[in-house]
Amino acid sequence: MVLFKKTSDLLVFFKHLCYYIFGDYMKILFGTRNKNKAIEAKAIFATIAPFVQLVSLDEIDPKRTIEEPIEDGDSFYANSLIKAKYYFEKTNIPTLCDDSGIVVDALDGAPGIYSARFSIGSNYKA
């Protein structure tokens, strides 16, 4: 059993484990083309997991040859999973995705996963 007295010891352990397994930093795709989301996620990962190289879709696919998947899940979680599986299949890079929207209690949670369809100038593809 390995015990760690400090979080930093655990991070060092995982860093060495990644080097051992991958020969370098562990690369994870953050499945978004939203530059601000990517910047924020990279800052978080740099703090909590400096041994992880987080890359965005625009970094690995700057010519946008990978299309966006159809998000037809029944929840934010389901749509995130759809995107993560799709981008992993396209890139063969472990993938982390999110999904979000506006949830209004007075509207019983609507528009929820359908938020993009209600935005002005939406280019939502169903």
Q: Which residues are catalytic?
A: 99
CA gap 94, 101 in Å, rounded: 24
At residue 92, φ and ψ (nearest 5 deg) are: 60, 30
d(CA 82, CA 69): 8
DSSP state of 30: E
- Residue 36 is given by DSSP the state H
